[in-house]
Amino acid sequence: MEPLLQVKNLKKYFPTKSGMLHAVDNVSFTIEQGKTLGVVGESGCGKSTLGRVVLHLLPATSGEILFDGKDISNPSKAELHDLRRNMQMVFQDPYSSINPRQSVAEIIGEPLKVYKICKTKEEYDARVKQLMEIVGLPERYEHSYPHELDGGRRQRIGIGRALALQPKFIVCDEPVSALDVSIQAQILNLMMDLQDEMNLTYIFVTHDLSVVKHISDDIMVMYLGVVVEKSSAKELFSRQLHPYTKALLSAIPRAKIGERKNRILLKGELTSPIEPPKACRFAPRCPYAKEKCFSQEPVLEEILPEHFVCCHYVREINQL
């Protein structure tokens, strides 16, 4: 099956006074239609920048992006306009991406107007009503303003707006991070239901591994712009091979009372993302680091079937 999205050696560097900041460095992955790729890592690891570069909200420094078999690495303005119909984004704080002076119905219906989707006012009203129903917003909120709603309902507006053009692919950037745990579950369930019904493909960006556990088919762990581990979600949650992923997973609270938790606390300085050295970027914080880690950059290698890790000593550490 042809993947819906193929990303090859994508780089995004930002110029700074002290040199180039390597926000995304040589990242490659594929996603099949109807699947979810969870992208996890601490803040500043490049995961949100990656989502924005894939959507062309930020220009790539280099690399290739193929969508539906078509090279969209350097789209023209007209191509980009067409792409927006198929590629959408749900933001962490929908408030920052919507006009607070518009009502719920106006926000959700705006893309329909921009893309002239509906021929008549009746068709437009019916579609907005349908979108509100799809995302679980009762009709009585039609004329409400975002500030009058709670965080969960505001996020439903963001999802409704992203769905207005019936896209194939959505980048969800920390969509539940600002919500209470009970509301998080509602929004995640809504997103999974919508995926089943509409065969949607997601990139789900989050700093919280427990959030992506149920929604992701595959997971990619990023550290300072590079991918350090990538596998199916099932495999990653049963067996973490990279020292950084082990530490990330150890931080997830356990559900069972009394279950022992051996949290791995990372010490040491963060490597600067500005002109990073040709070395393992995790080395200053890695409990297994040796001399080679500070002088040679490891590459992402398939260590077990479909399980990729970027570490010189992964076999030794995991006794493989």
- State the residues that interact with ligand SF4 by CB under 6 A: 243, 280, 282-283, 286, 288-289, 293, 298, 311-313
- Least gap, CB of 5 to ligand SF4 (angstroms): 28
Rounded Cα distance, 212 and 152, in Å: 18
Strand partners of residue 66 = 6, 71
- Least gap, CB of 307 to ligand SF4 (angstroms): 15
Of 40, 173, 208, 181, which is closest to residue 97 (Cα–Cα)? Answer: 173
Q: At what angle do helices 104-114 and 151-163 cross, to 10 degrees?
A: 20
Nearer to ligand SF4, 114 or 299 (CB): 299
The C-alpha angle 117, 123, 125, rounded to 5 degrees, equals: 105
Of 42, 90, 95, which is closest to residue 187 (Cα–Cα)? Answer: 90
- Least gap, CB of 81 to ligand SF4 (angstroms): 43
- Least gap, CB of 45 to ligand SF4 (angstroms): 14
Nearer to ligand SF4, 90 or 293 (CB): 293
Nearer to ligand SF4, 222 or 286 (CB): 286
Nearer to ligand SF4, 66 or 304 (CB): 304
- Least gap, CB of 36 to ligand SF4 (angstroms): 26
* Residue 167 · residue 200 · CB < 8 Å: yes
Nearer to ligand SF4, 187 or 280 (CB): 280
C-alpha distances in Å from residue 10, one per residue of 13, 28, 225: 10, 6, 10
